[in-house]
Amino acid sequence: MLTVSNISVAYGAISALREITFNVEKGEIVTLIGANGAGKTTTLKCISGLIKPRQGEILFEGKKIDRLPAHQITKMGIVQVPEGRKPFVDLTVWENLLLGAFNRPKNEIATALERVFNSFPRLRERLHQRAGTLSGGELQMMAMARGLIANPKLLMLDEPSMGLSPLLVREIFSIIREINRAGTSILLVEQNAFMALKVAHRAYVLETGRIVLSGTASDLIEHPKVKAAYLGE
Ligand SMILES: Nc1ncnc2c1ncn2[C@@H]1O[C@H](COP(=O)(O)OP(=O)(O)OP(=O)(O)O)[C@@H](O)[C@H]1O
Ligand SMILES: [Mg+2]
């Protein structure tokens, strides 16, 4: 579905990604784990067209997307839920969600909203609350809901567990699994390697802009290097 081949990105003279290669197949949850500054967010931005790679190629459903503008990539079915959630604080939850639906035909929006409320029942109760007053967990839910309303084929999540309590982290990850079961492929970027490896089918480990390990999530969770560096064992 998504094939990233030999992508390199630099910010000025600073190299952020060095020839990274990975893929996501239809129906999969693939996770990219790595420490602060490893290049996880850069990878997602590159796929969604917000930054352009220096070299390499990105294919989505067989089409080359690495030179397309971001809005066209979104239209093809790739949606990124950004790190840090960034809501429009003065808009209500309802208005924030509608922004995610701007690409959809009007007659599909009600169905899309219904589907999202099934995954996030708590948002329904808070529809008319200003987004700036939501709790961290509610904000994450709203950010994911906004992404889902666009009905993506590939949903890219950037650190959905950041700053959430253990209970909410479990809730968010169980929702990620449900979204995937309902047919959406997922590329998940996380520092919480344990939870990410629990939920994903396959994983890649990113270190200072390079992929240093890859495999099934169940193999990597047992890998001595992953245990030592990312699971605190
Ligand atoms: N706009 C930018 N200008 C210059 N350097 C940048 C820019 N954005 C990112 N970088 C650098 O690129 C590298 C990779 O950053 P990136 O945000 O992709 O890391 P990350 O893995 O998402 O980290 P974190 O877990 O902290 O979110 C870092 O060294 C960072 O400082
Ligand atoms: Mg990041």
Residue 131 and residue 214 in one domain: no
Residue 122 and residue 23 in one domain: no
Q: Which residues surround ligand 2, an ion (CB under 5 A)?
A: 40-41, 83
**Final residue belonging to a domain, choices 131, 151, 171:** 151
Which atom of ligand 1 is found nearest the CA of 83?
27
pLDDT tens, position by position, for the chain (233 residues)? Answer: 999 999 999 999 999 999 999 999 999 999 999 999 999 999 999 999 999 999 999 999 999 999 999 999 999 999 999 887 778 888 999 999 988 887 788 888 888 888 888 889 889 999 999 999 998 888 999 999 999 998 899 999 999 998 888 988 999 999 999 999 999 999 999 989 999 999 999 999 999 999 999 999 999 999 999 999 888 76
Residue 184 and residue 92 in one domain: no
Centre of ligand 2 from the C-alpha of residue 73, in Å = 20
Q: In which domain, by residue range, is 108 found?
A: 87-151
pLDDT of residue 79: 95
pLDDT of residue 185: 98
Which atom of ligand 1 is found nearest the CA of 191?
25
**Final residue belonging to a domain, choices 151, 183, 202:** 151
Rg of the Cα trace of the chain?
17
Would residue 82 count as lying in a domain?
Answer: no
Q: Are 29 and 179 in contact (CB under 8 A)?
A: no
pLDDT of residue 82: 87
pLDDT of residue 229: 87
Residue 24 and residue 138 in one domain: no
| CATH assignment of the domain containing 182 | 3.40.50.300
Residue 170 and residue 220 in one domain: yes
Residue 114 and residue 217 in one domain: no
Residue 157 and residue 221 in one domain: yes
Q: Best substitution site from 11, 15, 81, 211 to test ligand 1's pocket, by max atoms within 8 Å of Cβ?
A: 11
Which atom of ligand 1 is found nearest the CA of 35?
25
37: Cβ below 6 Å to ligand 1?
Answer: yes
pLDDT of residue 105: 83
Centre of ligand 2 from the C-alpha of residue 94, in Å = 27
Residue 202 and residue 137 in one domain: no
Centre of ligand 1 from the C-alpha of residue 32, in Å = 14
Residue 116 and residue 8 in one domain: no
100: Cβ below 6 Å to ligand 1?
Answer: no
Which atom of ligand 1 is found nearest the CA of 38?
21
Rounded CA-CA distance 225/40 in Å is 19
pTM to 2 decimal places? 0.94
Centre of ligand 1 from the C-alpha of residue 20, in Å = 15
Residue 69 and residue 117 in one domain: no
